[in-house]
Amino acid sequence: MLAPPPAPRRSLQRLARLVRLVPLVPLAVGGCGPAPSARPPSPAPSASASSAGPRPEAVTPTFENPGGMWMPTQMVAHEATLRRLGVAFEPKLLADPSSPLLSSIVSLGGCSASFVSDEGLVITNHHCATGALSFNSTPETNLLRDGTLARSRAEERSNGPEARVLVTQKLTDVSTKVLEGVADDKDDLARYRRVERRSKELVAACEAGRPELRCTLASYYAGTVYVLIEQLELRDVRLVYAPPAGVGNYGGEIDNWRWPRHTGDVAIFRAYVGRDGKPAGFSPTNVPYKPAHHLRVASTPLRAGDLVLVAGYPGRTQSWRSGPEVDEAIGWSYPRRQRFCEDALAALEVLGATSPEVKLKATPYVRRYGNWLTNTRGQLEGLVKGGLAHRKAEDEAKLAAFITDEPGRKARFGDVLGELREAVAEHAKSRDADAQLHELLLPKLVSAAVTIVRTAKERERPDAERHPDYQERNLARHERELRSLEKTYSRPLDQGLLRLALTRIARSPEAERTSAVSAVVGGGDPEKAIAALYATTRLEDTEQRLKLLQRAQLRELVRSKDPLIALAVRLVPMLVATEEREHRFEGRMLTLKSRYVAARRELAGRELAPDANGTLRVTFGTVRGFSPGPGKPVYRPFTTLTEMLAKDTRAEPFAVPPGLAAAAAMKKLGPYVDARLGDVPVDFLADLHITGGNSGSATLDARGELTGLVFDGNYEAMAADWLFMPELTRSIHVDIRYVTWLLDAVAGGDHLLRELGVKPSID
């Protein structure tokens, strides 16, 4: 289970961008555990898989999913397909963000979720609640381990100052405004800054006089299409329900990204507003938010072959990456991320053994890095051993031939593939040092100090000329980040992360090392330098952090005796130089990718989905099993409660909570049993195209009702971020019948069931 990032999100996102990776957002459960090869045996084939013939759930597929995470406006083109698959609502509801369906779908800023009551209930994944559970946990009251259920509104706990529910209200194509004159800029950096300036202008105009909104400019098709997004920002989010780890994280990292799966990956929040109905920060006097629409729990049982749709906020995919970028991922970025995760998990294991408090606060990191490690291994296997890189290379060769075969195309697109290769190679010269610099920002107090100094530096310029992250509109976000350290910061953990970064840098070739090392340790002993940085700093005091952020001037900070502030003063110019190199590269890619994208679209001759970019998307397909490969078992698309209990070892991560085991033993199954399965369904498979950020997304049935929550994908198809494989790519969902059974039979959540529109049936 993965929380919102354990360090300030910008540090992780910048690191991700510098190593050419997808944004570091949650998708699947994750923990520090053995590699996938160490996975224990699955239940007997008769329970979960069959290679001897079809089961009652096995159907011959009538639909071969082409993949794609579609923008709402593109769903109109799929109406005929959806009707053929049996959709029972008007498909046009999927094209309008204000429709009863899509207005129910929300973003948590890294995970997806949906409204499920008229009193602001929000349902998502358990691993998306890691931050909220951690924020409210102590070694004595460990909600990460034991879960929680609020039996009244008064018991609903704040998710912390950084928690958000974002409701998309309007999407406006502003491509013409953004790109006007961009092609005329001959300087790469000037080209990037022109787009950035237009972005800031559009966002400022969008938010003017509307403090309840958060506006964003998103790019699609590698910067050739731009959409202005308006979102209502709800700032008081509270924890209502999360099952124990033995349900929400059942199987842990051993089962992560694998099938069969038996995880109850669910959590429920509630969004609050001020008494005037407007978004407000946490206050005991706030009242539940009343959404215009919410989803209904499915009223018909889900079957193999049924249509399902997922609406959510997928993070990043790579299908529009060029050949040189694929080569860089295989040769540098993925191997680098794998080594980082391995090193981080080893260091965190040692740190966690020092005290219960450190172990608790390290848990979000452990789960996140464990998840990244498994994901990265799968991506590499799919690209290299699975042959996807070869298939991508073949596609690139076809594109090159397509361009050169016709003089007009050659004149329009030129040697775009060669120019892309040159651009990537040039940018690679500084990539190691730049990525190392950003690893130094993973400790929370180092990042806080950099935020304070950078804010003061940017404050010297007019707001419209500042870096977007440090404009006035983002000051409150920085304040929330610095305040949240009250419950998430640990000095030993922070020092351990800094030690990790320095150790990794010391192992790299000297020619590749960032000069930032000398800013941290000078020429002295790293251990003494780390100890000195934290020994006399005042940044461990919340009020001091906030005071400096809000009022400090750069000239004062330059003279500061606080060792962490002094370090940040040395680091900020290096970070600015790194950003400039990155922006110059992105400016160059703007012109190259516009030609590359145009050539690929012309070759395809049909509409292709843009890569995921954290914005509202819809994907659809059918409930469907799969076989991992020739001669392998054919997996059924459903798992059951009986199978879950069969995996119980009474030890983590396969320790079934006593309450669940007792309810099952007493046959307290109620109406949640599927007639065909003869059991309570737990998880199911579908052939949907998803990725990180889709975690918690609503899975809708043909009636547009909530039939599950997507939380994972299968290991065999992790490289679907690069190339969708309909025969192999599967999404994994927790079945809503299991969720409601947990509330009814195990948790004692009758009040929540009634709010969900479900009648409690089990005493």
DSSP class of residue 6 equals S
Say what angle helices 563-604 and 431-439 make with each other, to 10 degrees: 130
**Which tokens go with 656?**
């079934």
Q: H or E stretch including 15? A: helix 9-18
Identify whether 175 is a catalytic site residue.
Answer: no
265 is catalytic: yes
CA distance 508 to 512: 7
**Which position among 695, 721, 731, 744 bears the catalytic label?**
695
Reading the block at residue 131, the tokens are 């931050």
Q: Among the options 103, 104, 126, 127, which is catalytic?
A: 127
Q: Reduce the DSSP state of residue 698 to 3 states and report it.
A: strand
DSSP letter for each residue of 543-599: HHHHHHHHH--HHHHHT---HHHHHHHHHHHHHHHHHHHHHHHHHHHHHHHHHHHHH
- Structure tokens, 260: 């069969």
Tell me the HSE value of 435 on the side-chain side, using a 13 A CA sphere.
22
Task: For residue 709, give the nearest of 679, 689, 732, 741 by alpha carbon.
Answer: 732
Q: How many CB atoms lie within 10 A of CB 20?
A: 21
Q: Can you state the percent helix, strand and coil of the chain, rounding each to 5?
A: 50, 15, 40
Cα–Cα distance for residue pair 106/271, rounded to 1 Å: 11
Render 320-351 in DSSP notation, one character per residue.
T--HHHHHHIIIIIHHHHHHHHHHHHHHHHHH
Could you tell me the sign of the dihedral formed by the alpha carbons of 33, 35, 40, 43, in that order?
A: positive
Residues 188, 236, 255, 265: which is the catalytic one?
A: 265
CA distance 382 to 549: 45
Q: 43 and 643 in contact (C-beta within 8 Å)?
A: yes
Q: What span, in angstroms and rounded, lies between the C-alpha atoms of 671 and 117?
A: 21
Please, which residues bridge with residue 620 across strands? Answer: 309
Q: Rounded to an integer, what distance in angstroms lies between the CA atom of residue 746 and that of residue 759?
A: 15
**Annotated catalytic residue 276:** no
For 351, residues 6+ apart whose C-beta sits below 8 A from its C-beta are 358, 359, 362, 492, 493, 496
Q: Report the distance separating Cα 682 and Cα 48, nearest Å.
A: 12
Instruction: Tell me the two tokens of residue 394.
Output: 């073949």
Cα–Cα distance, 35 to 32 (Å, whole number): 9
Helices (H) and strands (E) in the chain, counts: 28, 20
Instruction: Mention every residue, 6+ apart, whose C-beta is less than 8 A from residue 324.
Output: 417, 420, 421, 423, 424, 425
Structure tokens at 487: 């419950």
CB 746 within 8 A of CB 739: no
Query: Residue 385 gets which letter from DSSP?
Result: T
Cα R_g (the chain), whole angstroms: 25
Gap between the Cα atoms of 718 and 547, Å rounded: 45
In whole angstroms, give the CA distance from residue 230 to residue 228. Answer: 7
Distance in angstroms (rounded) separating the CA atoms of residues 595 and 607: 17
Active site residues: 127, 265, 695
